[in-house]
A and B are shown apart, each in its own frame.
Chain A
Amino acid sequence: MTLSSHFAILVVVVPLVMAPLVAVLPSRSGTPWLVATLTAFVSFLLAIGVTQQVMAQGVLLYELGNWPVPFGIGLVIGPFAALLLLVITGASLGALLWGRASMNQEVGEEHQSLLYACWLLATAGLVGITITGDAFNVFVFMEISALASYVLVSAGPSRQALTATFKYLVTGTIGATFYLIGVGYLYMMTGTLNMADMADRLSQVSDTAPVLMASGFIVLGLALKAALFPMHAWMPNAYRYAPTIVTVFLAACSTKVALFVLIRFDFLILQPNLGDHALLFTTILMPLCIVAFLVGSTVAVFERDLKRMLAYSSVAQIGYILLGASLVSSAGTTAAILHMFNHAIIKAALFMAVGAMVLRYGSSRISDIAGAGKSMPWTMAAFCVAGLSLIGVPLTAGFMSKWFLIQAMLEIEGIGYLVVFLILVSSLLAVVYIWKVIEVAYFQEPASMPQGEPPRLISEAPMPMLLMIWLLAIANIWFGIDPSLPLGLAGMEVQQLLGASR
């Protein structure tokens, strides 16, 4: 056995093992950041290795301790999981490289080693959810990542971070427990926790009451975790009051992991075994998704805080992602997977640009960043690129995902035309709220200082921040011109998910 055959497990073990080590490093020395970043870098390389293997083989199976599945726990990494693995480890590495200055300013140096330890635990948890093939394992990893994320959010600079975390904790725990109940019902009916095995055995007991209940609890629990409207109440404040570096990381990947589990559970396990599943899935989720992007975009227009505005925009984007999946068609699912990837790079770029402004202006209120276009030209330029991508202007990543989503909607005709119209309305709303920021940053004079005080001198963001922001802004354009990486993996996944049924 070569080392490369163990990449699948190493990608979760490496951050998990490094976390306690980081926790005992001296806080003020800067070593916790260095070690965490190196660990994230190694995880990212491992994720790339795993993705290459997945691209060659289709699905990567790994039996823990050589116990044959379903007796032991197996890791199952499909193309979708590989793509998400890249997003998670990439977001973790990118945010760490970007955010050292931001972390020092917002959190102080005292507790940094513990926070970076939690960071690695959160990464390990999210990675674990993505790669495991065991339904209960998903719950455990979900709680590992959730508990670590609560600690990260609560470290925010103002005291509102605490109340926001409490709300996040309560909602997250209810969501995870609902998922656990659903898995319990499925275990009751099948006697197995391995997802593939479960899908096989469910066919003998399909359409029974417990299985229906299970699907309800699982969808509801994961929708809570994914902040699908109207279960998004925890998200805006958690994103607003968390340290910005944490917001960048969580916004890029944490809700998407819940969506990933939702899509995989429903398509792989429930879809072949529940007669009305496709119909139920569509009729329940599609209206919620439509309301999600309309409400999310509308609230974002009226929001006066940059971080909360982007959080509400995330509510809308989650609507788009799940809208694609709710069609249960290959075009729709491709759009969902593609947008999940694109939204991660869009939101990471936007939050990074906002974080740089928070660093320099000490505030995330839109009215406070007047004049940022002059004092931080590079940051604002990157914000504009990512903003255009969020809106879905051609030649950006956001355009690609909307293009595929609209094509998928046109396929179903009838109501599809109405939904396409609503997507365009929501995109116009995105134009409004992105423009609102651009207007203040470029066309408003900075508020005049009280008499006698010299005007504040705002300088451009520090170099590491700027590099990461631009790297992501360029990624937005790159994947807008050549989306072959996410699209190729999405295509492979759709064949596996829906191949059996059509």
Chain B
Amino acid sequence: MTPTSNLVVTALGLLNYWVYIFLLCVGLYAVLVKGNYVKRMIGLGIFQSAVFLLYISMDKVDGGTGPIFQGEPVAGQIFSNPLPQVLILTAIVVGIAVTALGLALAIRIKEEYGSIEEADTQRMDREA
């Protein structure tokens, strides 16, 4: 293989990580730039999902199968690492709780201000 194709293979082999970086940036952008509270929660969701992907990607062991014990151990069999999956299960639950609380806040903001645009709520706070 030529050095260039080598590079391409390496880059594609890291596809998960590219996607992770992309999602991280998209999510962070939405959170920081969007003025709509619901859109910002969506951004936060994407941002957190990116990290889930990071953890899930790192648990894959080349040639490893699912980490489930099936009767007699087979010589030479390798398993993927189950620990990151367990960790990310916890992180997903945390993410759901954050999203639920954030959206509940958005509903309360809508009730109190009649809008979920940050520009509107800021204007109303200034006028008050």
In the bound complex, how far is the Cα of B102 from the Cα of A174, in angstroms? 13
A154 engages B105 (CB within 8 Å): yes
A177 — which chain B residues lie within 8 A by C-beta?
Answer: 47-48, 51
Does A184 lie within 8 Å of B94, measured CB to CB?
Answer: no
With contacts A143-B98, A147-B98, A173-B44 taken as known, whether A159 is within 8 angstroms of B112 at the C-beta atoms is: yes
The reply to whether B40 and A170 form a contact with Cβ atoms under 8 Å apart is yes
Interface-lining segment among B7-15, B70-78, B84-92: B84-92
> Once the chains are docked, how many angstroms separate the CA of A260 from the CA of B85?
28
Question: Which residue of chain A has the shortest Cβ distance to B125 in the bound complex?
Answer: A160
Residue A169 lies at the interface, judged by CB distance under 8 Å to chain B: yes
Total contacts A-B at CB 8 Å: 70
B108 surroundings in chain A (CB, below 8 A): 154, 162
Contact A174 B105 (CB under 8 A): no
Contact of A181 among B54, B98, B105, B121 (CB under 8 A): B54
* B55 beta carbon closer than 8 Å to chain A: yes
The reply to whether B31 and A170 form a contact with Cβ atoms under 8 Å apart is yes
Is there contact, CB below 8 Å, between A169 and B105?
yes
Cβ contact within 8 Å between B102 and A143: no
Residues 136-178 (chain A) with a chain B CB within 8 angstroms: 136, 139-140, 143, 147, 150-151, 154, 159-160, 162-163, 165-166, 169-170, 173-174, 177
Cα A143 to Cα B101 with chains together (Å)? 12
Nearest chain A CB to B114 CB, angstrom units: 11
For residue B109, CB closer than 8 A to chain A, the reply is yes
Q: Contact check, A143 vs B109: say whether CB atoms are below 8 A apart.
A: no
Question: Do B28 and A162 touch across chains, with their CB atoms under 8 A apart?
Answer: no
CA distance A161 to B67 in the complex (A): 47
Is the Cβ of A184 less than 8 Å from the Cβ of B54?
yes
How many angstroms between the C-alpha atoms of A159 and B111 in the bound complex?
10
Instruction: State whether A147 touches B31 (Cβ < 8 A).
Output: no
Complex contacts, A165 vs chain B, CB 8 Å = 105
From residue A201, how far is it (CB to closest CB) to chain B in Å? Answer: 15
In the complex, the answer to whether B31 meets A174 with C-beta atoms within 8 Å is yes
Interface residue count on the B side (C-beta < 8 Å): 33
The smallest C-beta distance from B121 to any residue of chain A, in angstroms, reads 5
Q: Within 8 Å of chain A (Cβ to Cβ): is B97?
A: yes
B121 cross-chain contacts in A, Cβ below 8 A = 163
Would A162 and B31 be within 8 Å (CB), given that A140-B94, A147-B98, A187-B84 are in contact? Answer: no
Minimum CB–CB distance from A136 to chain B (whole Å) comes to 6
Which residues of chain B have C-beta atoms less than 8 A from A193's C-beta? 83, 87
Residue in A143, A159, A169 whose beta carbon sits within 8 Å of that of B113 in the complex: A159
Contact yes or no, A162 B98, CB < 8 A: no
Q: Among the listed B24, B48, B51, B102, which residue makes an inter-chain contact with A166, where contact means beta carbons less than 8 Å apart?
A: B102
**What are the residues of chain A within 8 A of B91 when measuring CB–CB?**
139, 180
Chain A residue nearest to B47 in the complex (CB): A177
- Does B19 sit at the interface, judged by CB under 8 A? no
Chain B positions within 8 Å of A181 at CB level: 24, 51, 54
Query: A191: which B residues are within 8 A, CB to CB?
Result: 81
Interface of B is mostly: helix
Give every chain B residue within 8 A of A147 (Cβ-Cβ): 97-98, 101
Contact of A279 with B by CB under 8 A: no
A147 to B104, CA, bound (A): 12
In the assembled complex, the CB of B21 is this many whole angstroms from the nearest CB of chain A, namely: 11
Q: Find chain B residues with CB under 8 A from A150 CB.
A: 101, 105
**Would you call A170 and B105 a contact (CB within 8 A)?**
no
User: A residues within 8 A CB of B54?
Assistant: 181, 184
Contact with A along B93-128 (1 / 0, CB 8 A): 010011001100110110011000010011001000
In the complex, chain B residues whose CB is within 8 Å of the CB of A151: 101
The residue from B28, B84, B101 contacting A174, defined by CB atoms under 8 A apart: B28
Q: Chain A: which residue is nearest B108 at the CB level?
A: A162
Tell me the complex Cα distance, A151–B108, Å.
12
By a CB distance below 8 angstroms, the chain A residues around B47 are 174, 177
Assuming the contacts A140-B90, A147-B101, A151-B101, asked whether A163 and B51 have C-beta atoms less than 8 A apart, the reply is no
Is A166's CB under 8 angstroms from B109's CB?
Answer: yes
Q: State the CA gap A40–B47 with chains docked (Å).
A: 36
Chain A: minimal CB distance from B25 (Å) = 13
Residues of chain A from 172 to 229 with CB closer than 8 A to chain B in the complex: 173-174, 177, 180-181, 184, 187-188, 191, 193
B37 contacts which chain A residues (CB < 8 A)?
Answer: 166
Q: Return B101 CB to nearest CB of chain A, in Å.
A: 6
Q: How many whole Å from A102's CB to the nearest CB in chain B? A: 22
Report Cα–Cα, A355/B90, bound state, in Å: 38
In the assembled complex, the Cα of A216 lies from the Cα of B110 at a distance in Å of 37
Q: Is the CB of B102 within 8 A of A169?
A: yes
Q: Please, which residues of chain B bring their CB within 8 A of the CB of A154?
A: 105, 108
Task: Please determine whether A188 and B109 come into contact, CB atoms closer than 8 angstroms.
Answer: no
Q: Looking at A160, A163, A191, which has the most chain B CB atoms within 10 Å of its CB? A: A163
User: In the complex, what distance in Å separates the CA atom of A248 from the CA atom of B27?
Assistant: 33
In order of increasing CB-CB distance, the 10 nearest A-B pairs are A159-B112, A143-B94, A162-B109, A188-B58, A166-B105, A163-B121, A162-B108, A173-B98, A184-B54, A180-B51
Could you write out 28 A-B pairs with CB less than 8 Å apart?
Answer: A136-B90, A139-B94, A143-B98, A147-B98, A150-B105, A154-B108, A159-B109, A159-B112, A160-B125, A162-B109, A162-B112, A163-B109, A163-B121, A163-B125, A165-B105, A166-B37, A166-B40, A169-B101, A170-B31, A170-B40, A170-B44, A173-B48, A173-B98, A174-B44, A174-B47, A180-B51, A181-B24, A187-B58
Known: A184-B55, A187-B58, A193-B83. 16 other contacts (CB 8 A): A136-B87, A143-B98, A147-B101, A150-B101, A159-B109, A160-B125, A162-B105, A163-B121, A166-B40, A166-B105, A169-B102, A177-B51, A180-B91, A181-B54, A184-B54, A193-B87
